[in-house]
Structure 1
Amino acid sequence: MREAVNILVLGASGLIGRCVTDELRQRGFRVTGIARRYAPSQRAGSFDLEIPVLSMGSGALTGLIRDHDIGVVVNCIGVLQDGPGSDVSAVHRDFVARLLRAISDSRRAVRLIHISIPGAGVHDRTAFSRTKREAERLITASGASYAILRPGFVIAPQAYGGGALLRALAALPIKLPAAETATPFQTVSIEDVVTTIAWLASRDISDKAAAAVVWDLMAPQPVTLGAVIGQFRRSLGVAKSRPVELPAPLLDLGAKFGDLASWLGWLPPIRTTALAELRRGVAGDPAPWMATIGIVPKTLAQAVGHRSASIQDKWFARLYLIKALVIGSLVLFWTVSGFIALVISYDAAAALLTSHHFPPALVAPITVGTSLMDMAIGLLIACRRTCAGGLIAGITAALGYMLGATILTPDLWIEPLGALVKTAPAIVLMLVALLTLDGR
């Protein structure tokens, strides 16, 4: 057994990284978590550091290892596909190359535990999977003490990414096409992943059982994607409902919309890469892992849990995909309404102000200004980084319209189509979007 060492977790704000960081601390390990940015609820004091680690050179990484007296590095960093600020080659391959140089230059007995993806590489068709496999090859050729872990589909109490998507599919009255539901989809409990990392961290650097290992981490029982969703459906209490099968072309279209959303800063769980990886499936051979550390992996039912879902679980699962619909509808509401008033129905919008005795010199500036403001609010809501500000601006503008109309044109409240009355639900919808904006 190895003396207690300091552990460095890279990517400590992600699903696996956050769970590993928290659970290792609960087990008594000294853990420093590194992430580019944490959600406010994720920060756990001075041991969680916000550092742009992906932009660090090998020399800076060497200093990080030495300064924190690190004996184990757990690399949980990964991105699904290219996008603004994300380059899969830079993240998966180039960063790992710098990290390996840093470990070598530190001249310390450091074990690298690298989180990769299942499979032997013959079905790697996406940039995500190919660059992940390139990182594996760099590690195995480096001469470092390493353990490459290839988890199956990770099931954790927290819902994020693919786990959140499967919960949402289970909660809604829809199901994936038959070809997708039949895909092999072996799972692993996050507790089993943490147990494995804890076992590796406690082994001496010279222990051959923990050196140069590549393990598939997953329950040995073969299951399908449909079975995983079915287990979540039982947990949510909707197993007896009869969902409608989603047409495959609609699923592909949703992935394209997901790609578009990713360029606006969002991280939708369904994108073309995610769909390709889902269709490839998750399969592997956990026997070497099980034999070496003596673990009995949790089954799918044990990982999801036999208890019925709590009300917060149900609300999250039902609202997760609806959230995208809410954001999208608000973007269309503001941009289209502004465009119509500015381009298509400009004369009618201007005539409305004229009929209520607005000074003629102000009619055009007010009509154009409010239309451009509405379109700007829609664009702000569309971008993830500015969405909160756009929603607040939208609520403020809507309240301003209602107040101004009450003072200047109170008769609009009893207008047959109820334009002002319908503004109130729009404000509520923006408030709902604002309160559900957090992604972690």
Structure 2
Amino acid sequence: MDQRTILVLGASGLIGRFVTDDLRARGFRVIGVARSLSPAQTMSALDIEQPILSLDSAALTRLLGEHAADVVVNCLGVLQDGPGSDTNAVHRDFVARLLQAIADSGRAIRLVHISIPGTAEADRTAFATTKREAERLIATSGIPHAILRPGFVVAPAAYGGSAMLRALAAFPLDLPEKEMATPFQPVAVEEISATIAWLAARESDDLSVKAVTWDLMQAEPITMAGVIKQFRLAFGTAAWPHLAMPAFMLDLGARIGDLANTLGWVPPMRTTAIAELRRGVTGDPSAWIAATSISPKTLAQTIGRHPASIQDKWFARLFLIKALIFACLVAFWLVSGFIALFVSYRAAAGILTAHNFPPALVDPITIGTSLMDMSIGMLIAFRRTAAIGLIAGIIASLGYMFGAAILTPDLWIEPLGALVKTGPAIVLMLVALLMLDNR
């Protein structure tokens, strides 16, 4: 058999990144395509950045032809509508263009599409309904295809929901009892990759796998509580007493997550995520196991092979704290600027007057620095400009410290230590800057 070329769309995500690297290790020629790749994800010349979702069917046809693709793996997906994220555009419209491109390519191409488990009757969110619409388009296309429906994916990396469960495992905190009891059948990410490799080795005209839909997950039933417990065993926190959060806190957290989503962030706790969590993750992997002879590992086998390292523990502990850090910094800059400008303007201006600043400069400096502080807070609030805001905040804080040292040195020894506290604020902004990456 000649070396097969596999085109992986969404090669920067949890599944897409692992699949791209693992299939290369298995001897396939793999082209990894993503809208954006981090510097750590561009280790191969075969990893390319391309605005894949904006390509029309003709451009997609050219992409398939340029790389002589034999198999296309579609790992693209978004959880919820927001700035730059449209479930209809990603799950349904793009798949329609991709199917047209494959049909127009003149090549015998197999499409492997990553979907979600469950039934259409249980779909309640735009995420789920558009995923199911994509499945229907694929099923009626006549193109050789495999629709893979992974369960809860356990991988060496962790994004989104998988990161949130690790974070819960690192703290003595449980979800409400009802949510902890939902079914949650997991699958190891390497078994998804092994399945794609098995399919890629088959000819596109092999009738036994020309049109299949498989649930990929361990056969043994397990609940979310069981998943979190297994992570706690790996983290060494299983013996800790645990406190279950009330349901209203979970719903409130989801609403706050939706607000953060409008600012460009992608928090794991959003209303769609909670709705899908409450539905659970279930399926029947028997057809997949029978066809491929892959014996799915249990959760204990999967996690047990990767005991938590210090890096795992730090990530899990800091994952939820990251949101708190950014929220505090946004509030710090907005509130400090607001108070100086509107609540205690005379007191703020009086500091400059008391230190013999020229009267003509007192008001401009007070107003300017207040507006600057509030602008920094707004920059940090939006994901796209957060790095600029943090850097500006560090520079502004250093400016305040050095300026005060020259012009008003007595402020360094004032009883409340306002300038002394600026140092820890700078450190916190530096920590936030270092934690900004999502993958």
TM-score range relative to shorter protein: over 0.9
Instruction: Report the TM-score when normalising by structure 2.
Output: 0.99
Matched residue, 1:128:
127
Matched residue, 1:86:
85
Secondary structure of 1:113's partner? strand
* Letter of the 2:110 counterpart: R
Matched residue, 2:173:
174
Residue 49 (structure 2) pairs with residue 50 (structure 1): yes
1:341-396 CA distances to partner (integer Å, 9 max, x unpaired)? 00111011011110111110000000000000000000111111111111111111
* Letter of the 1:346 counterpart: Y
Secondary structure of 2:338's partner? helix
Matched residue, 2:302:
303
Secondary structure of 2:70's partner? strand
Matched residue, 1:236:
235
Secondary structure of 1:32's partner? strand
* Letter of the 1:47 counterpart: L
* Letter of the 1:14 counterpart: G
Pairing 1:3-402 to 2, within 5 Å after superposition: 3-402=2-401
Contact 1:235–1:306 (8 Å) recurs in 2: no
Secondary structure of 2:390's partner? helix
Query: Residues of 2 paired with 1:432 and 1:144: CA distance?
Result: 49
* Letter of the 1:365 counterpart: P
Q: Give how far 1:160 is off.
A: 1.0
Query: Residues of 2 paired with 1:5 and 1:166: CA distance?
Result: 36
For structure 1, the residue ranges without an aligned partner over 5 or more in a row are none
Q: Give how far 1:209 is off.
A: 2.2
Query: Residues of 2 paired with 1:331 and 1:388: CA distance?
Result: 12
Secondary structure of 1:70's partner? coil
Secondary structure of 1:348's partner? helix
Query: Residues of 2 paired with 1:343 and 1:221: CA distance?
Result: 61
Contact 1:3–1:202 (8 Å) recurs in 2: no
Query: Residues of 2 paired with 1:45 and 1:228: CA distance?
Result: 34
Contact 1:4–1:202 (8 Å) recurs in 2: no
Q: Give how far 1:257 is off.
A: 1.0
1:150-208 CA distances to partner (integer Å, 9 max, x unpaired)? 00000000111111111001001211000000000000000110000000000011212
Matched residue, 1:435:
434
Query: Residues of 2 paired with 1:52 and 1:121: CA distance?
Result: 30
Query: Residues of 1 paired with 2:10 and 2:306: CA distance?
Result: 31
Query: Residues of 2 paired with 1:4 and 1:219: CA distance?
Result: 31
Instruction: Report the TM-score when normalising by structure 1.
Output: 0.99
Secondary structure of 1:162's partner? helix
Q: Give how far 1:45 is off.
A: 2.7
Alignment root-mean-square deviation, CA: 0.9
* Letter of the 1:433 counterpart: A
Query: Residues of 2 paired with 1:332 and 1:10: CA distance?
Result: 38
* Letter of the 2:29 counterpart: R
Following TM superposition, the consecutive aligned residue runs of length 4 or more in structure 1 with deviations greater than 6 angstroms are none
Secondary structure of 2:122's partner? coil
Say how many residue pairs are matched: 439
